[in-house]
Amino acid sequence: MPVSSEARVDQILELLETAGQSAYFGEPVTQLEHALQCAQLARGAGSDEELIIAALLHDIGHLLDEGGERVDAIGVIDHDAAGARYLREQGFSDRVAQLVSGHVAAKRYLTLTNASYFARLSPASVATLQLQGGPMTEAEAAVFGRDPLFEQKLRLRSWDEQGKLAGWPVAPLSSYRDLLVAHLSRAQQ
Ligand code: FE
């Protein structure tokens, strides 16, 4: 019998509630707090459902056992691709998966094109940049700039950068359950 959308969502929420209690590498928030802050920023900006979901789940690759090689203090290498793969397997839309897979590329793009962005990166985020391939080349940036989801990937990245505030009260994880179930139920049809 196929696993229901509700059951799949509850499994993901459980993963965020448990594994998400770990620290968000070098930042003053947990993985779960970071996810909730990013999703709240997306919601507050009036984003559509898929962008909110991508903001909430963009770092899920860090919480998966089957993720890539794990390096202490920076988490799973290739967590962007691992997260996108996992979300596709779970039945999330291609756009959600692409937004998640693009959040590291967006950082690599911005570190090439925007000096003030680079200057604002947290120390932990600078440390991971080299392992993520460093700033994009001009050729890579030209390709990325033509991505139909370019603007949205940059927006998600800006929330990723902002969602690292200790003690910021945010809506609970349960407030995203209906949105996630509706998305998976629709994506299944
Ligand atoms: Fe993040």
- As a whole number, mean pLDDT of residues 36-50 equals 97
CB crowding 118-151: b at 16 or more within 10 Å, else e: beebeebbeebbeebeebbeeeebeebeebebee
Please give the distance, rounded to the nearest whole angstrom, from the Cα atom of residue 10 to the centre of ligand 1.
Answer: 21
Q: How far is the CA of 2 from the centre of ligand 1 (A)?
A: 31
Cα 143 to middle of ligand 1, angstroms: 23
Residues above pLDDT 70, as percent of the chain: 93
pLDDT confidence of residue 125: 85
- Tell me the C-alpha distance between 184 and 189, whole Å: 9
| Residue 121 CA to ligand 1 centre (angstroms) | 12
What spacing in Å lies between the alpha carbon of 1 and ligand 1's midpoint?
Answer: 34
Q: Which pLDDT tens digit goes with each residue over 122-172?
A: 888 888 898 899 999 999 999 999 999 999 999 999 999 999 999 899 999
Residue 76: strand pairing partners: 70
Return d(Cα 42, Cα 40) in angstroms, integer.
Answer: 5
Q: How far is the CA of 157 from the centre of ligand 1 (A)?
A: 8
Report the separation in Å between the CA atom of 159 and the middle of ligand 1, taken as the mean of its atom positions: 8
25-53: average pLDDT: 94
Domains of the chain, CATH where assigned: 5-187 (1.10.3210.10)
Convert the pLDDT of each residue in 92-117 to its tens digit: 999 999 999 999 999 999 999 999 99
pTM score above 0.85? yes
**Neighbouring C-alpha atoms within 13 Å toward the C-beta of 100:** 31
In degrees and rounded to multiples of 5, residue 67 shows phi and psi of: -65, 175
pLDDT over 80 (residue 66): no
What are the helix (H) ranges across 45-101? 49-57, 79-90, 94-101
Residue 165 contacts by C-beta under 8 Å, 6 or more apart in sequence? 28, 29, 37
- Packing angle, helices 5-18 and 177-188, rounded to 10: 140
Q: Scan for tokens 């990013």, then name that residue.
A: 38
